[in-house]
Amino acid sequence: MNPPVLLVTAGPSREAIDDVRFLSNGSSGRMGIEVARKGVEAGWEVHLALGPVEAEIPEGVHHHPFVSACDLEEVTSRLWPQADALVATAAVCDYRPQERISGKKKKEPGDWNLTMVRNPDILLNRSQERDGPMGQRILVGFALEADSDEEEARRKAVKKNLDLVLCNSPGNLGVATGDYIWIEPGQPSVHLPGISKEMLAARMVEFIGTQVTLRRGHHASMGNDESESQQAKS
């Protein structure tokens, strides 16, 4: 059986205002890079879509750089059909400037109103394309909530049909360890205080590996049942 194919998104998106300025999020990409590293260590094929951060790409990882949310939408939509699972750790801007100003906007008297438009909801879009050749693909997301709002994280998990969501707070940004809440829809939450990104990544890869095995087995069983049914009819 072929090893799982894992797609990971990491780092921030940058949404250009003009040729000099941009809007972005405070993400180091470390969480996604650790997930990619653990995937390779497990013998998987790993694709990492990484935003504009300075980071060392783990050996054996297929690197796909992106800048904007629209870039990431294109990368994930292209790679998703071949993947078994997606771990979405990227801090994607929800909005972008409606128009990019050519050159650099000059300082002028008075205020400046910037019109914003919604960026694509990448995880929601991929959740609508879950059916794959080996059964339903696996989706893991992160919910960054100001007060680690567990109920809001569960709402997002249901809306986006996630298998697992990790709820965390802004205090976890850019640090090696943090407090997370592990949420599987329909299951009790598991609080993980002071867990390192490395340990959390290992736990996620183990979870995904189990789910891939179960779903591939179920898909194979369904295929055998259909074959036997066809033979009985003939």
**Residues forming the active site:** 25
Q: Is the dihedral of CA 124, 187, 10, 91 positive or negative?
A: positive
198 touches 35 (CB < 8 A): no
Cα-flanking dihedrals φ and ψ of residue 162, to 5°? Answer: -85, 150
Q: How many angstroms separate the CA atoms of 56 and 58, rounded? A: 6
117 touches 68 (CB < 8 A): no
Matching residue, tokens 């128009």: 99
DSSP 156-188: HHHHTT-SEEEEE-GGGTT-SEEEEEEE-TTS-
| Beta pairing partners, 131 | 136
90 touches 32 (CB < 8 A): yes
139 touches 7 (CB < 8 A): no
H or E stretch at 210: helix 197-233
Which two structure tokens, joined as six digits, stand for 156? 């997002």
Fill in the DSSP letter of residue 91: B
